[in-house]
Structure 1
Amino acid sequence: MKRYRQLAPVMISDFTVERWHHPVHNHNHYELIYIKSGKGWHTIDGGRIAYKAGDVFLLGPEEAHAFDVQARTRFIYLKFTDQFIHRQGAAATPGVQSLEYLIKRRDAHLAGFTLPVADRRTVDAIFGVVSSLQQDVAGAEPIVWTQVLALAMILQRNLPELVAATKPARDMQAMFCYIHKYIYAPGKLRAGVMATHFHTTADYIGPYFKRHAGVTLREYIREYRGGLIRKRIASGQYSLKSIAVEFGLTDESHVRKLAL
Structure 2
Amino acid sequence: MKRYIQHEYLRISHFTGTEWQHPVHNHNHFELIFVHEGAGNHCISNMQIPFEGKAIFILGPSDAHHFELHAPTTFTFLKFTNTYLGDPHWNQTLEHLLQAGRQQRLTLPATAATKTDQLIRLIVQEWKENHQENSPTIRYLMQGLLSMVQTFIPSTLDNLGTKHQQKITSLIDYIHDNIHLADQLQTEQLAAQFDLSKHYLGVYFKEQTGVTLRDYITKYKLHLIENKLLHSGLSLKEISHEFGFSDTSHFNKFFRKHHQVSPSVFRAKAKNR
CA deviation map 1:213-240 (0-9, x unaligned): 9xxxxxxxxxx9xx99x959x8xxxxxx
% same residue:
30
Q: CA deviation at 1:7?
A: 1.5
* Matching of residue 97 in structure 1 with residue 80 in structure 2: no
* Matching of residue 30 in structure 1 with residue 30 in structure 2: yes
* Matching of residue 118 in structure 1 with residue 111 in structure 2: yes
TM normalised by structure 1 equals 0.57
What amino acid sits opposite 1:143 in the alignment?
A: T
Aligned residues of 1:78 and 1:130 also touching (Cα < 8 A): no
SS at match of 1:160: coil
Name segments (4+ residues, structure 1) moved above 2 Å: 96-107, 109-113, 133-137
Q: Which residue of 1 aligns with 2:85?
A: 85
* Matching of residue 66 in structure 1 with residue 83 in structure 2: no
The 1:140/1:52 distance shift into structure 2, 3 A limit, reads: farther
What amino acid sits opposite 2:144 in the alignment?
A: A
What amino acid sits opposite 2:99 in the alignment?
A: D
* Separation in 1, partners of 2:76, 2:92: 22
The 1:9/1:71 distance shift into structure 2, 3 A limit, reads: same
Q: What is the correspondence of 1:72-221 to structure 2 with a 5 Å cutoff?
A: 72-86=72-86, 97-110=89-102, 111=104, 113-135=106-128, 136-138=130-132, 141-162=135-156, 173=159
SS at match of 1:114: coil
Aligned residues of 1:57 and 1:112 also touching (Cα < 8 A): no
The 1:140/1:32 distance shift into structure 2, 3 A limit, reads: same
* Separation in 2, partners of 1:22, 1:139: 24
SS at match of 1:133: helix
- How many pairs were matched up? 168
* Matching of residue 7 in structure 1 with residue 7 in structure 2: yes
Mark the runs of 5 or more structure 1 residues left unpaired by the alignment: 87-91, 164-169, 177-212, 214-223, 235-260
SS at match of 2:84: helix
The 1:105/1:128 distance shift into structure 2, 3 A limit, reads: closer
What amino acid sits opposite 2:115 in the alignment?
A: T
* Separation in 1, partners of 2:58, 2:149: 9
Q: Which residue of 2 aligns with 1:47?
A: 47
SS at match of 1:122: helix
What amino acid sits opposite 1:151 in the alignment?
A: L
CA deviation map 1:161-190 (0-9, x unaligned): 327xxxxxx5xx29x9xxxxxxxxxxxxxx
SS at match of 1:101: helix
Q: Which moved more, 1:101-110 or 1:25-34?
A: 101-110
